[in-house]
Amino acid sequence: MQLYMKDLILFGVQGCGKGTQGRILAERKGYKVFETGKELRALVAGGSELGKKIKDIIEAGNLVPDEVVIEIVAHFLENTEADQAIIFDGLPRKESQRVLFEEVVNKFARMPVGILIHIADEVSLKRLGDRHMSKSTGKIYPNKDAALAECDEEDVYQRTDDVPEAIKTRLETYHAETQPVIDWYTSEGRMFEFDGERTVEEVTAELLEKLV
C-alpha cells in the first residue's frame, strides 16, 4: 500500500504519538500542520474579527463551538497554498465536527485521508501515566528520568490530567465520540492504520515509506 502525498488527519488515543509523528512529517516531508489550539491562540493574538469573536467566547468561559472551529479551519485554508499538503491534528474529533469539516475542505477541493496510529488503552494509560514535560519548551518525554536527562528539575512537570482516572475519562470520550469519525473515514476507504506500540523510529519509518 502506497499513500501518495496528500492531506492527512491524525487519529489515535492519547499517548499514541500522533503529535510527535505529525511534527516529524512536517519537518521531513514539508507538511503544514493545523493544530486547533495553536491556530486559536494565533487568531486571538492577531486581533482579527474572528480572533475577537474567539476571545469573547473564551473570556465568557465557554467552549469554542464547532461552527467557530470550522471558521478557523476555513481561515487556515484561505491562507494556505492550494498545493501545500496539510496535517490536521486533533480535528475532527466528533461526528458533528466531521460533517462540517468535510463541507469546508470540499470547498477548497481537498480530500484528506485518515492516519490511525493504534495502541491499546492499557498502553495509553501507561504512557500517559509515565510521561513528563518541559515547562520551557513543551517537549514531551516518555518518563521523568528522560526529562531530567535534558532539563533542570524545576523545569519538569506532569500534566494534571495525566492521572489514571482522568486518562480513563479521556479514553471513554475518544471511543464514544471519535470512533464513529474513524469508522466513517474507514467506510469511505480513506483510513490507513499503523501500529503505534512500536518505537517512534519504527512508526516514522513506515509512515515515510508509505508517504511517497
CB 10 within 8 Å of CB 178: no
Helix axis angle, 36-46 to 49-59, nearest 10°: 110
Give the model confidence (pLDDT) of 67-123 as tens digits. 888 988 998 999 999 989 999 998 999 999 999 999 999 999 999 999 999 999 999
In a domain? residue 208: no
Residues 6 or more apart whose CB falls under 8 angstroms from that of 55 comprise 44
- Classify burial at 11, counting beta carbons within 10 Å of its beta carbon; exposed 0-12, middle 13-18, buried 19 or more: buried
In a domain? residue 160: no
- Nearest by Cα to 164 from 127, 123, 125: 125
> Pairing mode, if any, of strands 8-11 and 132-134?
unpaired
In a domain? residue 99: yes
Asked which of 109-118, 121-130, 197-206 is least confident by mean pLDDT, the reply is 121-130
Bigger pLDDT: 60 vs 116: 116
> Pairing mode, if any, of strands 113-118 and 191-195?
parallel
In a domain? residue 126: no
Q: Work out the end-to-end distance of the chain between its first and last CA atoms, rounded to an integer number of angstroms.
A: 11
C-alpha 85/C-alpha 135 separation (Å) is: 31
Reported pTM:
0.83
In a domain? residue 191: yes
C-alpha 80/C-alpha 76 separation (Å) is: 6
pLDDT band at residue 57, thresholds of 50, 70 and 90? confident
pLDDT of 7 > 60? The answer is yes
* pLDDT averaged over every residue in the chain: 89
Average pLDDT (125-135) is 89
In a domain? residue 153: no
In a domain? residue 154: no
For residue 49, what pLDDT is reported? 84
pLDDT of 212 > 70? The answer is no
Cell of 173: 470520550
Return the CATH number at 81. 3.40.50.300
| Residues of the domain holding 45 | 8-119+177-201
- The helix (run of H) or strand (run of E) holding residue 10 is strand 8-11
Q: How many domains are contained in the chain? A: 1
